[in-house]
Amino acid sequence: MSSLPLPVFLVLALILFCIGLFGALTKRNAVIVLISIELMLNAVNINLVAFSKYGPNPGITGQIFSLFTITVAAAEAAVGLAILFALYRNRRTVNVNEMDQLKR
Amino acid sequence: MMQYAWLIPLMPLLSFILLLLLGKKLKEASAYVGIWLTAVPLVMSFIVFFGQWGGESYKAEGTWLTIGHAVITFGIEINPLNSLMLVIVSLVSFLVHLYSKGYMNGDERVPVFFAYLGLFTFAMLGLVMSPNLLQLYMFWELVGLGSFLLIGYYYFKPEARQAAKKAFIMTRIGDVGLFIGMILLFWQVGSFEFDDIFKAVASHEMTHAMITLTAILIFVGAIGKSGQLPLHTWLPDAMEGPTPVSALIHAATMVAAGVYLVATMYPLFAASTAALTTVAVVGGVTAIFAASIGLMQKDIKRVLAYSTVSQLGYMMLALGSGGYVAGVFHLTTHAFFKALLFLAAGSVIHAVHTQDIEKMGGLYRKLKRTGPLFLIGALAISGFPLLSGFFSKDQILAATYEDGRFGLFWLAIIAAFFTAFYMFRLFFMVFTGEFRGAAKEVHESPGVMTFPMIVLGILAVLAGYVNTSWFGTFLSDYLGKGEVAPLASNHEPIWISVVATLVSLLGIFMAYLIYKKGSLSRDWLSRHLPSLSSVVYNKYYIDEVYHAVIVRGVRAFSYGWSLIDRYIVEGIVNGAVALVHWLAKLGSKCQNGQVQTYGAVAFVGLVLLLLIFAVSGGYFS
Amino acid sequence: MNEILLSILVFSPLLAVVVLAFTPSNQEQSLKWIGLFGTLLPLVLAIITFCQFDIGSSAIQLNEKINWISFTIAHTDSNVTMPIQYELGVNGLSLVLILLTSVVAVLAAIGSFTIKGQWKSYFIFFLLMEVGMLGVFASQNLFLFFIFFEMTLIPMFFLIGRWGYENKEKAAYSFLIYNGLGSAILLIVFVVLFMKTGTLNYGELANIFANGGSGLLDSVPGETFRLSILIALLLAFGVKLPIVPLHTWMLRVHVEAPPPVVMIHSGILLKIGAYGLITFGMGFFPAEFKRIAFSIAILGVVNLLYGAFIAIVQTDVKKVLAYSSVSHMGIVLIGLAALNDAGVQGAIFQVVSHGLISALLFFLVGVLYERTGTSYLKAYSGFVKTMPLASGVLVAAGLASLGLPGMSGFISELMSFLGLFQTKPIVAAVGTLGIILTAVYMLRAVMAITYGPLSAERGKLVDLNVREMVPAYVLLALIIAIGVYPDMLGMTIKSTLDSILSGFGG
């Protein structure tokens, strides 16, 4: 199997990251914002794995690190959804625009 | 004996400390502490004086402060001039202590009074024994402190408070002149020692301009202390203090310190004609100016105060005209007769409880000892022949004449006339005629008060004979021995004596005509020249002018500055605070609570950082 | 013992802090006495330190040095280790200031007996502040200096803000903001110096700037760099001193803080500014200091006259004293600007002398305030009658402050002006106007309180009690002792002075 060059993975990660970023910054629905964040994290994972294979110092560190990231992402999703549920119970909304308690 | 001379000033200091610590317990007995601890220095001063007469000079110093390589010393010096001053100061001080025992009797703060007197005496003795200019300056300020405390002795009187403050501040204005002069001399000579300074002057190490400048600055100090024009106004106000204080500080010793300063620094002054002229002109003008004010005053002590100012002007005139001996001679005789006059005035005040001469009269019969003693003092100061003032004033006139400044000479003659006139105006109004006061019983003062007056009376008669052209010029020879100063020659034209005597007698006679016989009306001047008489009566409005221009000016300036401080400087600070506040408000507006906005801002920030990094290539490259 | 003597000295107040922490907060008397003993311990240790000190030597003595933090950074060709050390040591100047600190702290602790409420936290802050002050003067490393410097700020903030008078919060914030700005500048300066030279030790820094070489840089940092660092230092310590347009915070503190805290503040904290200018400004950058000396002289004269003129019309005795502090700090600047033996010695004398005099004056103001509940001059009159001792000491302190010979204020005034007259006679001549003005405002304030008629409603004032006599007499005795025999202080600082001045070429 002929190996694809590193930039291909990086561009994929970039696209994924940008989509995630765009979603996280613009979507009104908090659930979609959380999903977008997952996208960004996965973009990072792709980068990590790609570098660990094709980077200047190939090794296993990147892959292990991406495992950590996945774990953290799972935890983050769980906590994030839990907060969202609590919020929904109190305020009956998942609209991010209405979540401005930080200001008060 | 000389090696123990340093004990002389320490005795009164001991009295000061003892009375401060134990005054409450000693009460009336504290007077004895003060008297004994000035009697001992008096005896020692005489021993030192006669030792010095025998030709023994003495100087001892120790390190006081090191500035870089210059060592500033502290010590004592005994030379002809200052051993003479030692005797004058300790004698008058002792007599005044004695007199105060009677005068202050019954005052509940007697210990404090004697403590202050001790402090003053300490400072004054220290002043005259100083071997260097810095030490002199320090004691110079300390005598000012003594004077300040004693003027303000009746602290509850607002006038006394004002007078004390005024005395301190006005003399301090002069002191700053001395301060600057002293520092300039230090950098010229590299030392504060008198000897080094005179050596530098003699060897032309200093430029002529510098000599003149420093001499005049030092003279400014003397102007302040000796109440010369234009810093004289504190001295009459200083009469708010108890009368013995006026006699000691504001007649005999402290105010004469200015004359002493000029005399001590004489080689410096002598090297500059301009400086001498300044001294002579200031002295001469002050002499006539103060004498003219003395003509119209109604307060017995104020008349004497203006007379003091005028006589100090005489001494300055003498020094400025090259009459070193004449100046010091007059200082000596003046110390005695003016102290006598003040003590006698105090005795009068003690008897009638007023200072207004309009409310006195006919006291000669009632005050059997004070009256004649006052007369002796008045005759002495007027220059009545064969009394002490006659000889010293004569020499001043001769020195002025020889110096060739005839304008000043005639001013001095007129001032002599004024002096005789106002002294006898005082005498006739207080001691002759009918009693105009309210006091029912008028008692002569106790012996403890009259004894010092008698001693001073004897001295006022005899002190003149230490330096006459008839019996011998002991004082000139004595002062000349220390080779401190060039001396004026002593062959005066005889007509000066005659003129001076005639003028004095004329003054006395005029006073007699107006105030005793009544052949001339008393208010002749105020009727014929009302404007002139009111100007003189109000002391030429100098106090008023100072108040309007300087006091108000400084106050207005200060007030203006405090407004600037409050509104502009603080305003800028508050402005800065407001700016920060405004920025913070602006910043908090950006904080809208929208997580997505924050994320966007963070992202834009990152992008900007990366862009900068990409363009500049990083900090470490 | 000598190896750790300074550390013990600096941290000795902490002993009492620990004891205080375990004392119940309602036991008023024991809290106060523990606080007082807590300040006595450093005094004893400071005296021991003084005995161990060799006056003749100009070297830093009683050195302690422990490696504390070190990190490595990449430099052009090799990695360089940059250590931050815990370094203490004293020279003549800092020793004198340590003694001053420990003396004033004891007396202020005695004065603190009048503090109302919350004694526990008061004395804890008080003692922590003392640790900071002692540390500032004992440290030999800029990093350590900075830490101790900050350690004086925070307790001070609380001391003003909690135990002060009506506008205490505003005063506390103004104190914190100004001094915070000052110390921010200081921090930047220290970091820049560290990055450029790789050391924070005073001696090494001075050596690098004098001779070049041994630092990180092969060449000596350039002229502009040094000048800007010096000006930044002047700004940072100018806030503390204070130099004129930066003085308004100090007025608020002097008016609002409780009197014992003002004793400490005016007596010692302001002196840190002068200490910093002398040790860092003159010690590290003599040539540049010489360049801006003329401006410093002008600043000094402006300080002197500005404070004096405004003090003349103040109606509150605390404000008079506050402006008088501004004015007297001008004399420090005047002395420093002279750049000769006399001037710098005068500045150091003024630091010590003003520390004693202003501590005494503020102590007495505290005594008066406690009895009358006011500090307005109009409310006072004729106190000699009922409070002869307090009035006597007050008049003496006022006279000391206006520079009467025989007291310490005169010596410093004389030497500062003596110095400045040699180098800049015209500026100095203008400055002498301040001598007259000082007499005017000081006498006005002091005599308004003590002299004059006693108003009827003030009949029941009691004079100084024994507890109040101790600080009053001790301070007065020290003031007079220095005034009568100044070489006592002069000898201690002489060798340090010589080494500072050697930077100016003799």
**Residue B294 in this model has a pLDDT that exceeds 60:** yes
pLDDT in tens, C117-140: 888 899 999 999 999 999 999 999
Nearest residue on chain A to B602, alpha-carbon basis:
A25
Report yes or no on A66 lying in a domain. Answer: yes
State the Cα–Cα distance between residues B157 and A57, nearest whole angstrom. 96
Report yes or no on A63 lying in a domain. Answer: yes
Question: Using a CB-CB distance cutoff of 8 angstroms, which residues of chain C are in contact with residue B168?
Answer: 439, 443
Bond prior to C425 in cis (omega within 30° of 0): no
Report yes or no on A40 lying in a domain. Answer: yes
The pLDDT of residue A66 = 92
HSE (side-chain half, CA atoms, 13 Å) at C38: 30
Please report all neighbours of B, defined by 3+ CB atom pairs within 8 A: A, C
Number of Cβ atoms within 10 Å of the Cβ of B349: 18
Q: Do A24 and B599 touch (CB under 8 A)?
A: yes
Report yes or no on A37 lying in a domain. Answer: yes
Q: Do C451 and B161 touch (CB under 8 A)?
A: yes
The pLDDT of residue C506 = 47
Nearest residue on chain A to B590, alpha-carbon basis:
A103
**Residue C317 in this model has a pLDDT that exceeds 60:** yes
Average pLDDT score over chain C: 86
**Residue C252 structure tokens:** 């608020």
Report yes or no on A42 lying in a domain. Answer: yes
Q: A24: domain range?
A: 6-93
The pLDDT of residue C185 = 92
Is residue C277 within 8 A of residue C336, CB to CB? The reply is yes
| For residues A20-34, average pLDDT | 90
Angstrom CA distances, C94 to B408, C120, C366, stand at: 60, 30, 29
Q: Rounded to 5 degrees, what angle do the CA atoms B415, B419, B422 make?
A: 130
Nearest to A103 among B593, B596, B603 (CB): B593
**Residue B472 in this model has a pLDDT that exceeds 90:** no
State the Cα–Cα distance between residues C405 and C411, nearest whole angstrom. 7
Q: Do A102 and B595 touch (CB under 8 A)?
A: yes
| For residues B471-476, average pLDDT | 68
Running DSSP on this structure, what letter comes out for residue A2? P
Running DSSP on this structure, what letter comes out for residue C139? B
Of C317, C327, C251, nearest to B566 (Cα)? C251
The pLDDT of residue A1 = 46
Q: C434 or B591, which is more confident?
A: C434
Task: Give the ipTM of the model, two decimals please.
Answer: 0.88
Percent of chain B with pLDDT over 70: 94
**Residue B296 in this model has a pLDDT that exceeds 50:** yes
Report yes or no on C378 lying in a domain. Answer: yes
Burial of C37 (0-12, 13-18, 19+ CB in 10 A): middle
Average pLDDT score over chain B: 83
Nearest residue on chain B to A25, alpha-carbon basis:
B596
Q: Do A103 and B592 touch (CB under 8 A)?
A: yes
Is residue C349 within 8 A of residue C411, CB to CB? The reply is yes
State the Cα–Cα distance between residues B175 and B223, nearest whole angstrom. 9
Nearest to C406 among B142, B179, B183 (CB): B142
- Report how far Cα C240 is from the mean position of its chain's Cα atoms: 9
Of C245, C359, C360, nearest to C307 (Cα)? C245
In this structure, the strands spanning B467-468 and B472-473 are antiparallel
Report yes or no on A99 lying in a domain. Answer: no
Q: Do B595 and A26 touch (CB under 8 A)?
A: no
State the Cα–Cα distance between residues C386 and C368, nearest whole angstrom. 12
Of B164, B173, B166, B79, nearest to B483 (Cα)? B79
Of B302, B246, B252, nearest to B538 (Cα)? B302
Q: Beta partners for B320? A: none
C-alpha distance across the termini of chain C, in Å: 37
What's the predicted TM-score (pTM) here?
Answer: 0.85
Report yes or no on C395 lying in a domain. Answer: yes
Is residue B152 within 8 A of residue B160, CB to CB? The reply is yes
| For residues B322-347, average pLDDT | 86
Report yes or no on C453 lying in a domain. Answer: yes
Residues 6+ apart with CB under 8 A from B302: B236, B239, B355
The pLDDT of residue B604 = 92
Is residue A60 within 8 A of residue A20, CB to CB? The reply is no
Report yes or no on A88 lying in a domain. Answer: yes
Of B18, B252, B239, nearest to B114 (Cα)? B18
Q: B593 or B186, which is more confident?
A: B186
Range ranked top by mean pLDDT from A11-20, B485-494, C236-245, C452-461: A11-20
Q: pLDDT-derived band of residue B439, with 50, 70 and 90 as boundaries?
A: low
State the best of C444, C487, C496 to mutate against chain B, taking most chain B CBs within 10 Å: C487
If one counts the domains in chain A, the total is 1
SS3 C6: helix
If one counts the domains in chain C, the total is 1
Please report all neighbours of A, defined by 3+ CB atom pairs within 8 A: B
A24 interfaces chain B, CB cutoff of 8 Å: yes
**Residue B484 in this model has a pLDDT that exceeds 70:** no
Report yes or no on A35 lying in a domain. Answer: yes
Percent of chain C with pLDDT over 70: 95
Q: What is the CATH number of the domain that holds A83?
A: 1.10.287.3510
Nearest to B593 among A26, A33, A102 (CB): A102
Is residue B28 within 8 A of residue B46, CB to CB? The reply is no
**Residue A101 in this model has a pLDDT that exceeds 90:** no
Q: pLDDT-derived band of residue B229, with 50, 70 and 90 as boundaries?
A: confident
Running DSSP on this structure, what letter comes out for residue C488? H
Q: Rounded to 5 degrees, what angle do the CA atoms B268, B269, B275 make?
A: 135
State the Cα–Cα distance between residues B192 and B186, nearest whole angstrom. 6
Q: C383: domain range?
A: 307-501
Question: Using a CB-CB distance cutoff of 8 angstroms, which residues of chain B are in contact with residue C506?
Answer: none
Report yes or no on C175 lying in a domain. Answer: no
Is residue B389 within 8 A of residue B457, CB to CB? The reply is no
Chain B residues with CB-CB distance to A under 8 A?
591-596, 599-600, 603
Report yes or no on C379 lying in a domain. Answer: yes
State the Cα–Cα distance between residues C397 and B22, nearest whole angstrom. 21
